[in-house]
């Protein structure tokens, strides 16, 4: 299992290990089991604050150990960082988006980590003189972390509501700026989900407030110029498993208040011009029914899975929108999964999936004529982007693939013509003809075929000798479409093959694909990922034991489960903010996400079957005294989604239990959350470190890079 490590820039294997985390274990009792958790002490009881000095010291010791091990690779890491940075346009900018009398966009100043948001008067054209409305670099001064989530102008374009998170905890503070003076108003709203919505009176803001467990549990209304303490609670969700969100419809007639979990939802609406109106319900909550709504001309257009998992499109009058009045406009299909809806004045956009590929369908209101937009490649990632006006004749699209850089198109929905507005520039150079992308299907343990998309350089041999980097996710019905990565080129140009697996648990092949990878079927996700790896080896893309596996969050669970189940298959694995302490987390309903996660994983507190099922695959609970691949694990101290102690506990248990001498490193971000460091360049340092670790594991240190194609490692 150990990589072929040369003498030049080899990792420092003599660095002292951090002390094995050990204190008094915690013993709990569930369904007749007595469970002992030797590393439960790593959870600070004051969370979300972390004050325990012993915990902080331990995490710092893990970071110090990682830095000592990686120190001899500093030259390679810097080389990789410069490569990654060289592929980013220093003064990059967005495509101006028309909204009312302005064009809105963003840009980076040379060397800046964060964006400047600006607008240009419409009568000056998109190339006119920009007026800055929000300067993120100025906000980020003296901050270690900054994330701006919302940049929303009022309907009359005189005010700007924006939200900022300064520690990665996803607790956003909302501020309001007077765009005439450039000064912020006294109104400051803390502890929100970060998505304020304007009423059309230009004086009222709706926002979702986080509770003590950081759950988005209630909707509030704020009147500018009044104390936040006097804000009005518009809606409170009684079910701790349901989250609340709010959004303004495309025609700006109604605000929609959505509450739900992974399998049940309901929607209320408030007239945007009468913000103090009591919310009205569209369809009463029914367990197992999801729906979402948009409005046009007195009609609600609704996507729902009430009769079929792949959903249908219905319409209902605003006066009486209950489900009894839903009229079917597009019936459900066994092969086409309707995933999204956007409504414009004369036409609608329907996002859908068929045979694992995403499609965009245009449907005209006048005659119900419809067509799919044609795309140039068989496998790609696409989504609508920057469509701010209700009355427009084009659809702005963001498109990319494994070999095509992100491209922005304006698509004329009548003429069916595309106009290129931007192709991501790669300053250091990029020739797509050097790379080839392929799509394949792998047979899983039960004969089900699992999609996998592959990219490599054309001159990388397909004879099993190449190292392979496999990425997998497979949860929550989230789709992992094949998109471009400038960073990935550093691997491809060193002879790596990259593969993206779509195991069950995502919804790439429809809602049934998701259902087949959750609850009682969750192990399909892990078995599918292992099957893809074995198929890639059998297809001569790599060899078993000479692959890397990577995933983040619930994808980190996939990594953790796969290396428990098939450790010899992988040479190295990277688990980013991994959800690996599944059983303990799902037994703790005080955590933000746990109640809302029961439809995904089950409730092990109430169901012994769910308890046994999760216990059987939870990576932390299934660490065994055996050899594991090289492991690179990350976490974030302020991460509210996968709490910092999950990766920390997993690493501690692995360090005390595994029998090999392969490297096991933990990078705990002490000032960041689920997404790692903020700032476009700072984040690249983290990618460079992981890639250096991967190259070390495969024996591709600088002295051997140039000769790789002539003689593969191992």
Q: Using pLDDT thresholds of 50, 70 and 90, give the confidence band for residue 410.
A: very high
| Annotation says 553 is catalytic | yes
* Torsion angle of the four alpha carbons 665, 671, 674, 677, in this order, in degrees rounded to the nearest 10: -80
SS3 of 210-243: the string is ECCCCCEEEEEEEECCCCHHHCEEEEECCCCCCE
Catalytic residue among 553, 618, 678, 704: 553
> Whole-number mean pLDDT of the chain?
93
**Measuring CA to CA, which residue among 563, 528, 538 is closest to residue 654?**
563
Catalytic residue among 187, 674, 678, 704: 674
For position 370, what pLDDT does the model report? 96
The two beta strands, 407-412 and 394-400, are antiparallel
For position 530, what pLDDT does the model report? 98
Does residue 15 have a pLDDT over 60? yes
For position 377, what pLDDT does the model report? 93
Q: pLDDT by residue (tens digit) across 202-220? A: 999 999 999 988 899 999 9
**What pairs with residue 102 in β-bridges?**
99, 121
Which two structure tokens, joined as six digits, stand for 269? 């609406």
Does residue 355 have a pLDDT over 80? yes
For position 7, what pLDDT does the model report? 38
**Measuring CA to CA, which residue among 79, 77, 89, 78 is closest to residue 405?**
89
For position 387, what pLDDT does the model report? 93
Who wins on pLDDT, 138 or 680? 138
Buried b (16+ CB within 10 A) or exposed e, 664-682: bbbbbbeebbbbbbbbeee
Q: Are 689 and 77 in contact (CB under 8 A)?
A: yes
How much is the average pLDDT of 44-48? 88
Catalytic residue among 535, 639, 678, 704: 639
For position 605, what pLDDT does the model report? 96
CA distance to 171, 178, 400, 568, per residue, from 207 (Å): 12, 19, 33, 49
Q: pLDDT by residue (tens digit) across 118-167? A: 999 999 999 999 999 999 999 999 999 999 999 999 999 999 999 999 99
For position 6, what pLDDT does the model report? 39
Poorest-pLDDT segment among 12-26, 100-114, 197-211, 558-572: 12-26
For position 675, what pLDDT does the model report? 76
For position 707, what pLDDT does the model report? 33
User: What pTM was computed for the model?
Assistant: 0.92
Does residue 662 have a pLDDT over 60? yes
Distance of CA 3 to the CA centre of its chain: 31
| Annotation says 674 is catalytic | yes
- Interior CA angle at 208 toward 201 and 43, to 5°? 160
For position 3, what pLDDT does the model report? 36
For position 60, what pLDDT does the model report? 95
Q: Using pLDDT thresholds of 50, 70 and 90, give the confidence band for residue 20.
A: low
DSSP annotation of 363 reads E
Q: Using pLDDT thresholds of 50, 70 and 90, give the confidence band for residue 12.
A: confident
Q: Are 243 and 260 in contact (CB under 8 A)?
A: yes
Q: 286 preceded by cis ω (within 30°)?
A: no
């Amino acid at each position: 299992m150990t990589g072929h490590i040369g003498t030049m820039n080899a990792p420092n294997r003599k660095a002292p290990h951090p002390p094995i985390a050990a204190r008094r274990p915690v013993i709990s009792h569930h369904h007749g089991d007595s469970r002992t958790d030797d590393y439960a002490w790593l959870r600070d009881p004051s969370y979300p604050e972390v004050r325990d000095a012993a915990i902080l010291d331990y995490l710092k010791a893990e970071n110090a150990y990682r830095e000592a091990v990686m120190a001899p690779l500093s030259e390679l890491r810097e080389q990789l960082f410069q490569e990654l940075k060289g592929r980013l346009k220093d003064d990059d900018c967005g495509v101006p988006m028309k909204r009312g009398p302005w064009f809105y966009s963003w840009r980076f100043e040379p060397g800046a980590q964060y964006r400047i948001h600006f607008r240009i008067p419409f009568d000056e054209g998109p190339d006119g003189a920009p007026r800055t409305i929000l300067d993120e670099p100025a906000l980020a001064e003296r901050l270690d972390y900054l994330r701006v989530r919302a940049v929303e102008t009022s309907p009359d374009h005189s005010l700007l509501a924006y939200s900022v998170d300064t520690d990665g905890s996803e607790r956003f503070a909302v501020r309001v700026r007077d765009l005439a003076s450039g000064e912020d108003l006294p109104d400051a709203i803390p502890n929100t989900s970060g998505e304020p919505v304007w009423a059309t009176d230009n004086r009222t803001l709706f926002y979702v407030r986080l509770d003590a467990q950081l759950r988005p549990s209630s909707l509030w209304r704020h009147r500018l110029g009044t104390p936040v303490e006097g804000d009005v609670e518009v809606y409170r969700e009684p079910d701790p498993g349901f989250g609340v969100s709010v959004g303004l419809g495309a025609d700006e007639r109604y605000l929609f208040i959505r509450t739900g979990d992974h399998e049940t939802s309901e929607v209320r609406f408030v007239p945007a011009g009468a913000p103090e109106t009591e919310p009205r319900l569209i369809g009463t909550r029914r367990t197992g029914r999801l729906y979402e709504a948009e409005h046009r001309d007195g009609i609600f257009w609704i996507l729902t899975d009430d009769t079929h998992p792949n959903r249908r499109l219905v319409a209902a009058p605003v006066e009486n929108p209950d489900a009894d009045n839903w009229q079917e406009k597009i019936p459900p299909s066994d092969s086409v999964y309707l995933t999204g809806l956007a409504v414009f004045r004369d036409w609608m956009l329907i996002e859908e999936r068929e045979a694992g590929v995403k499609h965009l369908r245009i449907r005209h209101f006048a005659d119900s004529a419809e067509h799919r937009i044609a795309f140039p490649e068989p496998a790609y990632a696409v989504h609508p982007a920057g469509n701010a006006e209700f009355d427009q004749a084009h659809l702005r699209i963001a498109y990319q693939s494994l070999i095509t850089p992100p491209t922005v198109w304006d698509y004329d929905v009548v003429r069916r013509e595309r106009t290129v507005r931007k192709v991501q520039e790669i300053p250091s150079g990029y020739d797509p003809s050097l790379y080839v992308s392929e799509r394949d299907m792998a047979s899983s343990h039960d004969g089900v075929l699992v999609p996998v998309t592959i990219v490599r350089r054309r001159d990388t041999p397909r004879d099993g000798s190449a190292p392979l980097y496999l990425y997998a996710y497979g949860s929550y019905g989230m789709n992992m479409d094949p998109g471009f990565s400038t960073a990935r080129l550093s691997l491809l140009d060193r002879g790596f093959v990259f593969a993206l697996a779509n195991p069950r648990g995502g919804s790439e092949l429809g809602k049934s694909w998701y259902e087949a990878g959750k609850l009682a079927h969750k192990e399909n996700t892990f078995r599918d990922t292992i099957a893809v790896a074995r198929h890639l080896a059998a297809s001569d893309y790599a060899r078993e034991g000479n692959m890397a596996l990577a995933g983040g969050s619930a994808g980190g669970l996939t990594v953790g489960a796969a290396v428990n189940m098939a450790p010899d298959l992988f040479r190295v694995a990277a688990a980013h903010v991994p959800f690996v302490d599944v059983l303990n987390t799902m037994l703790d309903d005080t955590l933000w996400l746990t109640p809302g996660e029961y439809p995904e994983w089950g409730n092990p507190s109430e169901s012994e079957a769910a308890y046994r099922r999760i216990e059987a695959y939870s990576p932390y609970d299934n660490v065994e005294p055996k050899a594991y691949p090289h492991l690179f694990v990350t976490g974030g101290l302020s991460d509210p989604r996968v709490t910092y102690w999950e990766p920390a506990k997993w690493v501690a248990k692995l360090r005390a239990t595994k029998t090999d001498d392969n490297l096991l490193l933990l990078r705990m971000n002490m000032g960041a959350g689920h997404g790692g460091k903020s700032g476009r360049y700072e984040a690249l340092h983290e990618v460079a470190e992981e890639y250096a670790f991967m190259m070390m594991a495969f024996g591709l240190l600088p002295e051997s890079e140039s000769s790789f194609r002539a003689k593969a490692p191992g």
